[in-house]
Structure 1
Amino acid sequence: MLQDVTEAAQHDRAVAAMANELRQLVDTANAPIFGIDVYGNVNEWNDKTAEITGFTKEEAFNKPLVTTFIVASLRQSVQEVLDNALKGKETSNYELEFRTKTNEVRYLLVNATTRRDAENNIVGVVGVAQDVTEAAKHDRAVAAMANELRQLIDTANAPIFGIDVDGDVNEWNEKTAEITGFTKEEAFDKPLISTFIVPSLRRSVQEVLDNALRGKGTSNYELEFRTKSNEIRYLLVNATTRRDAENNIVGVVGVAQDVTEAAQHDRAVAAMARELRQLVDTANAPIFGIDVDGNVNEWNDKTAEITGFTKEEAFNKPLVSTFIVPSLRQSVQEVLDNALKGMGTSNYELEFRTKSNEIRYLLVNATTRRDAENNIVGVVGVAQDVTEA
């Protein structure tokens, strides 16, 4: 799927996808997501891509991506990237230039990932991108798709690593390999603490992992990795309990930011389907939701931190009359009513009244929430805190 360590303008790890709302979150993600079939024709085109290019999904679908949307000077190289992905050879951090409907150019930094069907046949390519046109402000969120979770974890711009119940490494993505200098093969099955953590932090890191192995996750814990070249990399980590299908604890996963070079660190979000609930609760972006009656039924830790109201205090309270300033209640109610009719709203600014009677300004994507039968059951809001924007 957002922010915290370097303040609101560059919120940390933007959107965490919810399993039953994956389609909606892909469509409304703050990151451009687009894809092609094996013939190079567009078959994925989310709202952000439409916003950036000016072409609607209907206008883009079934059009050849390269000749229609890529500037002429880059068509050959982009075609090579897509051809490689259609052969199973993916490309990370490839910069391409999209030609918009108004004939402007948007610069996108793209991970091109092979798309496969249930039988593992290659059926196309999906691109998850960052709009780097306005580099100082661009949002680098990554939206994960369930069927491409493994590929997206491996190629994510955030370090992702994990251990089993014995403390041995069993997850080590490409970014972690890049940062540490140790390949996945070199890291796997090694004890994380004694192999990669500096001696002065081993005890405290062990405590964090032990807590996660008891079901108690830790957010924004700073640790120091020792690299293969004996340098130190500083990572800000969310340590989350990993569970199997029977809810047994099987390990810990860490989703991190490299804050060694804070001005240029990567803030991508990696969402993991089986840890979705834990990652939503510990996300650095405010996530809240209502049922069809307008009462709160989602309230993550960041929302609690920003508003001062705990999840217990917020749950089952009417969102609008309890937390929204009076002057905006009517307009916020209209946004929620629209979402309850299946019409989401992006980048809507609202004002939350906190427990201490202060105002927090949130920029919100309001997305319809549906059950397994596609019935509308509420609204979920994924927000940025822009109070100090």
Structure 2
Amino acid sequence: MHPRSSFKALMETVRWKSKPWDDMEMDAINSLQLIINGSLQEEHPKTVANVIPSVDNRVQKVDELCVIVNEMVRLIDTAAVPIFVVDASGVINGWNSKAAEVIGLAVEQAIGKPVLDLVEDDSVETVTNMLALTLEGSEERGAEITIRSFGPKRKSSPVELVVNTCCSRDTTNNVLGVCFTGQDVTGQKMLIKNYSRVQGDYARIMWSASSTLIPPIFMANENGLCSE
């Protein structure tokens, strides 16, 4: 499902024309609003009085729910970090713009792919364990995974992410999937690798026994004493 487009279609093309919402659908809407209202009350008890509209005013409830969902989708889609969601079977069903930018895989290409198809071999076990633990309710933090790059980025190095996971739950608190929120650390990893390589080259040159490799080198400290 792609909530942003589906709710947009609902609001723009079939407003006032759809068949009446049945009781099961209204119960689901009420449950979601109760959850949202409860979360807001916990965070802002003095400023949030009541965000649940009257039960009888069903059209207003649907409109307000659409606004809330659209706002949630917009916030996730415009987040400055890669975010993707995986269902209980390990298939991607959510992919934000930053994930598409960093990894090079468009939303329509990512949706429906098994997440393990995107990760490098050395990260398969880590991601598998994270999925299993999070689906059991144990959310993970600070795990490092490597994801393949796609599209124009395919020839570049893989993407290094530090990720946290959280559970996606239904109204009865059953875990439906896993949300991954990542931080792109590819640049930092590359910098560390380059520094280590240069440091190693420096050490090999400084302590080489070959007199033809480089002329004699010495270093002095601030007091003029030889330090190397």
Give the TM-score taking structure 2 as reference length: 0.52
Q: Is the 8 A contact 2:164 2:181 kept in 1?
A: yes
Secondary structure of 1:235's counterpart equals: strand
Query: Root-mean-square deviation (CA), in Å?
Result: 2.9
Residue 201 in 1 paired to residue 115 in 2? no
In the alignment, which residue of structure 2 is the partner of 1:258? Answer: 184
Deviations 1:25-59 (Å, cap 9, x if unpaired)? 99xxxxxxxxxxxxxxxxxxxxxxxxxxxxxxxxx
* Contiguous gaps of at least 5 residues in structure 2: 1-38, 48-62, 190-228
Q: 1:20 aligns with which of 41, 44, 50?
A: 41
| Aligned mates of 2:46, 2:105 — CA distance in 1 | 34
Structure with more of its chain in strand, by fraction: 1
Secondary structure of 1:167's counterpart equals: coil
Seen in structure 2, the aligned counterparts of structure 1 residues 23 and 206 have a Cα distance that, compared at 3 Å, is: same
Amino acid at match of 1:251: G
| Aligned mates of 2:105, 2:176 — CA distance in 1 | 24
In the alignment, which residue of structure 2 is the partner of 1:101? Answer: none
Amino acid at match of 1:244: D
| Aligned mates of 2:110, 2:138 — CA distance in 1 | 25
| Aligned mates of 1:209, 1:197 — CA distance in 2 | 13
* Contiguous gaps of at least 5 residues in structure 1: 1-17, 27-116, 122-144, 264-389
Structure with more of its chain in helix, by fraction: 2
Q: Is the 8 A contact 2:87 2:178 kept in 1?
A: yes
Q: Is the 8 A contact 2:92 2:111 kept in 1?
A: yes
In the alignment, which residue of structure 1 is the partner of 2:74? Answer: 151
Q: 1:169 aligns with which of 92, 97, 103?
A: 92
Deviations 1:308-333 (Å, cap 9, x if unpaired)? xxxxxxxxxxxxxxxxxxxxxxxxxx
Residue 180 in 1 paired to residue 103 in 2? yes
Deviations 1:133-166 (Å, cap 9, x if unpaired)? xxxxxxxxxxxx8761111001111111111011
Deviations 1:220-278 (Å, cap 9, x if unpaired)? 00101111033311111111222111111111101111112349xxxxxxxxxxxxxxx
What is the number of residues matched between the two proteins? Answer: 134
After the TM superposition, list the runs of 4 or more consecutive aligned residues in structure 1 that deviate by more than 3 angstroms.
21-26
Secondary structure of 2:73's counterpart equals: helix
| Aligned mates of 2:75, 2:144 — CA distance in 1 | 24
Offset of 1:118 from its aligned partner? 2.1
For residues 41-52 of structure 1, what are the structure 2 equivalents within 5 Å?
none
For residues 325-336 of structure 1, what are the structure 2 equivalents within 5 Å?
none
Q: Is the 8 A contact 2:126 2:145 kept in 1?
A: no
Q: 2:64 aligns with which of 99, 113, 118?
A: 118
| Aligned mates of 1:242, 1:168 — CA distance in 2 | 14
Give the TM-score taking structure 1 as reference length: 0.32
Offset of 1:217 from its aligned partner? 1.2
